[in-house]
C-alpha cells in the first residue's frame, strides 16, 4: 500500500485570513517502508512574512522572493501524491492550507477521506500524554537532534518514522497462518536506496515413493532405535 507522509510550513495559522503555504515536504511509503522517493519545494507566498512565523521555520521573505509560485508547481506536486492516503501531524491544519492553495489554482480540493492524522492516532495510543512531534519522537527514541527549526521535509521524515511506530512498527501486517500469494514488496536498504524482494507463494511438498522407500531402508538399518524400546511389550 502506498502512502504519502507530508508536512507544510506557512506564513501563519489561517488561510482564510490571507496566510499562505511556503514549503511542503513529502515522503513516499510503501507497506510502511520509506522508498527513498521524496518531494520538496519552497513557494513564494506573494506577501510579507510575519516575524512570528519566521522564528518558527526560518524562512524569510527575502529567501522566498525568488522561489516558484504554488501554481507553477501544482502539477508536479499532484503527480507525486497521486491518489494515495496522506499522513500529517495535526492533519486538518496541513489539509486546510493545501486545499486553500489548490482552490486559488482552481483545482479540486483533496478529499478529507484521504486524511490520516497522527495526532488523532497518538491520542488513542497514548491518552493524556503530550502529542507534539518532539514529544512523540522522544517517546519512541527517534533522533531529532538536527531539528533546530521546523522544516517541511525534515519534519515529514521524522513523522514517517513516528507513523510506523504508532501503527505497529516494522512488523505490521504479519499474521500467523496467513497464506502469502506472490507479491513484490519494497525493502529500504539505505535512506536513498531501495531493493525489491519477491515473496513467492508456498509450494506443496510431498515425499515421492522412491524417497519413502529409501527412508524405510535407512530405518531398518538402525540398531535398536529409541522409539522402538518397549514396543514389543
Name the binding residues for substrate: 7, 9, 52, 57, 155
Contact of 21 with 99, CB cutoff 8 Å: no
Which is catalytic among the residues 131, 150, 205, 206? 150
Q: Which of 4, 164, 38, 22 is nearest to 101 (CA)?
A: 22
Distance CA 152, CA 146 (A): 13
Binding-site entries: 7, 9, 52, 57, 155
Distance CA 87, CA 164 (A): 11
DSSP 222: S
Tell which phi-psi region holds residue 169, choosing left (phi > 0), alpha (psi between -120 and 50) or beta.
left
In the chain, helix, strand, coil percent, each to 5? 40, 20, 40
- Tell me which H or E stretch contains 184: strand 183-188
Query: For the chain, first and last CA: distance in Å?
Result: 61
* All cell numbers assigned to 228: 522402538
* 40 noted as active-site residue: no
Binding-site entries for a divalent metal cation: 7, 9, 155
- Edge-to-edge strands of the sheet including 21-30? 33-42, 21-30, 2-10, 86-88, 115-117
Residue with cell 513484490: 184
User: Which residues are annotated as catalytic?
Assistant: 150
Amino acid at each position: 500500500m502506498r502512502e504519502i507522509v507530508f508536512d507544510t510550513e506557512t506564513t501563519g495559522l489561517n488561510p482564510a485570513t490571507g496566510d499562505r503555504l511556503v514549503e511542503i515536504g513529502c515522503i513516499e511509503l510503501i507497506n510502511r517502508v520509506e522508498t527513498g522517493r521524496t518531494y520538496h519545494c519552497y513557494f513564494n507566498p506573494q506577501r510579507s512574512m510575519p516575524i512570528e512565523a519566521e522564528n518558527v521555520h526560518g524562512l524569510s521573505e527575502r529567501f522566498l522572493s525568488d522561489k516558484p509560485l504554488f501554481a507553477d508547481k501544482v502539477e508536479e506536486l499532484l503527480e507525486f501524491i497521486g491518489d494515495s492516503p496522506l499522513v500529517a501531524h495535526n492533519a486538518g491544519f496541513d489539509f486546510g492550507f493545501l486545499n486553500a492553495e489548490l482552490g486559488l489554482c482552481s483545482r479540486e480540493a483533496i478529499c478529507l477521506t484521504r486524511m490520516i492524522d497522527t495526532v488523532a492516532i497518538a491520542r488513542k495510543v497514548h491518552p493524556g500524554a503530550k502529542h507534539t512531534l518532539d514529544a512523540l519522537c522522544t517517546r519512541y527514541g527517534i533522533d531529532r537532534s538536527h531539528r533546530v527549526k521546523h522544516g517541511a521535509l525534515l519534519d515529514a521524515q521524522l513523522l514517517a518514522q513516528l507513523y510506523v511506530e504508532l501503527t505497529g512498527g516494522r512488523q505490521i501486517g504479519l499474521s500467523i497462518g496467513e497464506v502469502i500469494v506472490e507479491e513484490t514488496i519494497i525493502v529500504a536498504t539505505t535512506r536513498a536506496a531501495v531493493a525489491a524482494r519477491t515473496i513467492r507463494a508456498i509450494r506443496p511438498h510431498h515425499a515421492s515413493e522412491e524417497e519413502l522407500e529409501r527412508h524405510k531402508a535407512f530405518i531398518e538399518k538402525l540398531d535398536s532405535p529409541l522409539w522402538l524400546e518397549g514396543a514389543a511389550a
